Amino acid sequence: MASLARGIGFFQVPDMSGKLAVVTGGNSGIGAEVAKTLAKRNATVIIASRDEGRMQAAVDAIRKESATAAKNIRPIVCNLESMRSIKSCADQVLALDRPLDLLVNNAGRFLDAPFQLTEDGFEQTHAVNFWGHAYLTLLLLNRIVEAGPSRIVQVVSFGEILGRVRMHDLRGAREGQSGFPSYCDSKLLAYIWLSELQVRLRRAGAQVDCFGTQPGWVNSRLMDKVDFRYPLSVPAHYAAKLFALSPKYGCRSTLFAATDPSLTGKGVNSRGVGAPYFGAPYPLFSLPFFFHTASGPAWNSQAHNESLRVAVWEEAHRILEETAGPGLPDINLTLTAPQTAGRSL
């Protein structure tokens, strides 16, 4: 009965006492719901986002609902468009000197950024949706491994279907594009990179599970921040008000992937392919209660091309080192899994 209920989308977040989680973009929409729920279940939650005031406002709003949850939340500024800011955030997390049980890479940009390069030379949407998260993940990776069994969850999107890997321009910097194409390309890149990370973590013996999620169509501030110069933004904005899920339901696939005990050890399938993708199948993605626990492959065939995955990983590593300097963990060589048999997230 319980597994039938879970199969159609019902689950409970377990007690998370003693766990440390980082949720990027945890001040708004899906991320705020994820952070609040984890904190209500007694996890210590760092919300990592770009604006101190908006993060504090989110904690104040949570306090009205649950003083305990608010007490468990700590904001740390992390502008994912800036390597410097990401490094400073990671340093503050590392300074806590605690294993990191859960990293939820949730922050994202959609149609709100006309073409512009960040200070590090990345197109902005690529910077937030892919590069910033990849860098943050690598900076925190040893702590995540230490916590094993632990998890990394990447919020992807239906946009991955239309994404294209442009090996000659993974920064998204050369073609001058922004908006929807950048959104789709960056979400696909994030998912491909995560899959390869999972494969490498397993090969290194680490007990870390990586999951991608698609939240459905959610009426969050993402839909208000659209720049009306993009043709798609008008229907995206108004239709979301009428038909999309509230963040309360849009967070469910991510919460499930982040916490459900049945998923421990399930980051790699029997064919050695990494990072299962959770969320209602795309045609059903606006049903509020159902199928957020469903899993399946990403729809874009590029996500299943092993040599492309490896090429993206290697090129991304080269670009990150070129931009941020050496010192990122080479996970094939340096990681050693701790002895944590018997624990589950």
Ligand X SMILES: NC(=O)c1ccc[n+]([C@@H]2O[C@H](COP(=O)([O-])OP(=O)(O)OC[C@H]3O[C@@H](n4cnc5c(N)ncnc54)[C@H](OP(=O)(O)O)[C@@H]3O)[C@@H](O)[C@H]2O)c1
CB burial of 100-136 (b: ≥16 within 10 Å; e: otherwise) equals bbbbbbbbbbbbbbeeeebebebbbbbbbbbbbbbbb
Binding mask 224-263 toward ligand X (x if CB under 6 A, else -) reads -x------------------x--x----------------
Could you say whether residue 149 binds ligand X (CB under 6 A)? Answer: no
Q: Is 277 marked active-site?
A: no
User: Closest CB to ligand X among 244 and 263?
Assistant: 244
Selected binder of ligand X within 21, 22, 23, 27 (CB under 6 A): 27
- 279 touches ligand X (CB under 6 A): no
Name which of 83 and 155 has its Cβ closer to ligand X. Answer: 155
Q: Is 331 in the site for ligand X (CB under 6 A)?
A: no
Nearest distance from C-beta of residue 339 to ligand X, angstroms: 35
Q: Per rule CB under 6 A, is residue 155 in the interface with ligand X?
A: yes
β-bridge partners, 212: 154, 277
- Listed in sequence order, the residues at least 6 apart from 278 whose beta carbon sits closer than 8 Å to its beta carbon are 211, 212, 213, 214, 253, 254, 256, 257, 292, 293, 294, 295
State the Cα angle at 33 between 141 and 157, rounded to 5°.
Answer: 65
325 φ/ψ angles, rounded to the nearest 5 degrees: 95, 160
DSSP state of 155: E
How far is the C-alpha of 47 from the C-alpha of 76, rounded, in Å?
A: 6
User: Does 54 sit near ligand X (CB under 6 A)?
Assistant: yes
Which tokens go with 273?
A: 């392919």
Q: Segment 32-51, which members bind ligand X (CB under 6 A)?
A: 49-51
d(CA 276, CA 323): 30
- Give yes or no for residue 220 binding ligand X (CB under 6 A): yes
212 contacts ligand X (rule: CB under 6 A): no
Q: Give the active site residues.
A: 183
> Which residues are at the interface with ligand X (CB under 6 A)?
24-25, 27-31, 49-51, 54, 78-81, 106-110, 128, 155, 157, 214-215, 217-218, 220-222, 225, 244, 247
